[in-house]
């Protein structure tokens, strides 16, 4: 409720932890004429989203989620407004909202319900937007960074597949983009529910590698060759 006090307290703590003595207390008072600004912190939203997506940071996810509602005018009920605005945006773009249930921004709530169909629709639409390359690069890169830094190494998905992970005790998900051997970009979304999260993640790795190693050109050649042989 008092962000200015939190900011002042954080600054004071950081200074003191760095060996700087800070006298007096912390208070919010009318700005005196002699006051001057000592610090200002600004970060582009894309930079924050990149850190969020690559590291699956739930704390930032909640903040970004509520910022959507605040920007849409929901100053007192930001989460409720966010759900309303997100749902309307999906429907406007013709993305399926069947069975959709949004309760928070991090996905930690057990009442959240998303379908792979909705996620693929959202990813497909994002690929058409001006900021797509920036968005794609915000996702973890298989075998390189973020939550995928140790996954799919030594496969065609390494340094190729960009995706966001999702993990709960009985749920594992992976959604994003991958390029095939024909350099065709694919959108994908895998969602597994049950008691085998470790197995699900291994399966996600295998599926991601399969998509990256797929070639429509080679597949069509095989179909044509098989057809000619049958004749």
Q: What is the mean pLDDT of the chain?
A: 93
Residue 231's pLDDT is what? 62
Helix axes 45-55, 58-71, angle to 10 degrees: 140
120-172 residue pLDDT tens: 999 999 999 999 999 999 999 999 999 999 999 999 999 999 999 999 999 99
Residue 227 has pLDDT above 80, yes or no: no
Q: Compute the average pLDDT of residues 196-207.
A: 96
The predicted-structure confidence for 144-157, as pLDDT tens digits, reads as follows 999 999 999 999 99
Mean predicted confidence (pLDDT) in 46-71: 94
More confident residue, 142 or 195: 142
Q: In whole angstroms, how far apart are CA 172 and each of 70, 78, 122, 166, 200? A: 30, 28, 19, 6, 6
Question: What's the whole-model pTM score?
Answer: 0.82
């Amino acid at each position: 409720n008092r962000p200015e006090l939190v900011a002042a307290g954080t600054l004071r703590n950081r200074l003191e932890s760095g060996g700087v003595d800070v006298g007096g207390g912390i208070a919010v008072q009318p700005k005196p004429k002699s006051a001057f600004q000592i610090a200002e912190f600004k970060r582009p939203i894309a930079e924050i989203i990149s850190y969020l997506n690559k590291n699956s940071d739930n704390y930032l996810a909640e903040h970004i989620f509520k910022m959507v509602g605040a920007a849409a005018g929901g100053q007192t009920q930001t989460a409720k407004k966010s759900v309303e605005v997100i749902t309307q945006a999906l429907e406007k773009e013709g993305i399926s909202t069947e069975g959709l249930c949004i309760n928070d921004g991090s996905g930690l709530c057990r009442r959240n319900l998303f379908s792979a169909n909705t996620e693929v629709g959202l990813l497909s639409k994002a690929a058409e937007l001006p900021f797509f390359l920036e968005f794609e690069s915000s996702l973890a890169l298989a075998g390189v960074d973020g939550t995928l830094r140790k996954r799919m190494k030594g496969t065609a998905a390494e340094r190729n597949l960009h995706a966001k992970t999702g993990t709960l005790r009985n749920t594992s998900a992976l959604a994003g983009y991958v390029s095939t051997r024909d350099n065709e970009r694919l959108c994908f979304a895998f969602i597994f529910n049950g008691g085998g999260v470790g197995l699900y993640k291994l399966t996600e790795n295998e599926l991601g590698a399969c998509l990256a190693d797929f070639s429509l050109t080679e597949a069509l050649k095989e179909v044509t060759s098989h057809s000619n042989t049958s004749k």
